[in-house]
Structure 1
């Protein structure tokens, strides 16, 4: 029997034979919804290698979607150290201090239990709970990439037309229609004119700029923007409100500034002002304007959102403005400079890659919280 690579002979593989207790433990690690992914993946490899005599390494790797080297590594480790070999790197000349049961108990408690007096585990509280040292708990967490002190936010779109809208929008990015311009459109509402309660102290050698933590609010404005995905140029308009009436005024401006021979494709989110009867009526009167909507809860797919981020970082966030007029003048000035040297964004992910990434994420979080 060879390694399984076509046309190349390899060393004869030692069969993987599992005791009933070992098979039961491996299957439990695979089935546990909240098992650390690394341990679950290693358990699948060993179980696959134990099926059907001596299955080829390459075949096992292909079936599980991992590399042949990964299969060889954990196959060899299991044959050498059995279940303990899947948990921690063997240390030459030094027997393991803790057993696989202890490691499993820490991993399971971290993933499935909450301490009585806190929202998440610390190394100290897990050490007290498990009877292990804080350094040992830390090593186990690092090994299985567990970080109880960290949390991230996410939103999964519930749009029933999510797939169709992703294909539609990304298709415009990669293959814009001939004789047309594609504009990524949105409004950045409630931009505040903020002034610090005391003067800002300028940066000095060895000392950063310093400003008070409190500020005075001096009014709000809304920026409507249409980002040309091909050139990076921006058509903009500032209004004190962001109703459908202001959005319609902005569409009128866009229609006037785009050459008459071009079709206009507008990528928008699902905000209510973009879908009112007045807006639909305006679009019917201007048939060269075509509205495309991003999936609900997926503003990241709209390129103008990234441009808003540049504006916020470079002009708004650290700016000081005594009134709305001053704020709007600075925004207009910044946009004018941007348009003198516009920079389009390079969209790299296809619709298929986006959907596959989302599918992988859903598989990873499947069963979370149950």
Structure 2
């Protein structure tokens, strides 16, 4: 088994820690403080419930534009050591962010979660840009996990906001794509008749239906599928959000999203606390592909964020074709985010699948692809 998959198996999964009976009711500056912005939302509330149960978090700070006092009080009734502090309104955002080691950004514009993925950009970009301005000012050294959609565009925008403030850490900003991995593991387990906890499926690309690339050829423990199974599993993963919306009166999936976000955030907590071999996939600043500044790939996490980017696993012909088709879509999504804060990158991306070759396409890349 490769070193990558050895780490992957150790890094993925839920935390199984012994229950701590000693409680702490105060959290100092050196403690593990996680702030959830957008905590009163449909994903934010179950996310906070799951994070409250983690013995690794000292303080869970919740913030929303809507009142959060009742939510905070209810969460504090849960008999775990994690203390919950609650803030609401724009004026109190900076108080919520102070001394935060991790900021989970789940906030969006009202009603935006019911919109198609590409339509979420305009309302949600305004919200995220404003929050990231405060993050840059109040807790520039904190890790930021963005769960608001469209992740493909909001992560590049968030990075540019931090760059303009001089507080950008390229290893500390993450677009949460863990939901795609959770679904991939579940659907593969169903087909293979095994427990989902035993399955590891790398998912790369982006976080929209056209850019999610499940790498079924590298699934563990078994990567043997018929062509029909590969196509059906891939379609199920890519169309999962739309299928849920049809059955939930146009509401997006919330519980699985919260579960996946909680798992990713707890992995960040473990990495900050020095746990070894923490591996998760996320949409991050990347040099893996010559024409994509950002890409979702498996990552080794550490105290400063990304310690190592494992890059793209070996892809089958089917997966390579999906990836090549996703490249121009991802490039446009990334440009949209950068353009919103006044960053323009003139050279167009090269689509290695589209003849004739685009001029700036490097010779070695084209020769490799063709």
TM-score band, normalised by the shorter chain?
A: under 0.3
Q: Which has the higher contact order (CA 8 A, sep 6+)?
A: 2
Please tell me whether Structure 1 or Structure 2 has the larger radius of gyration of its CA atoms.
1
TM-score under structure 2 length normalisation: 0.21
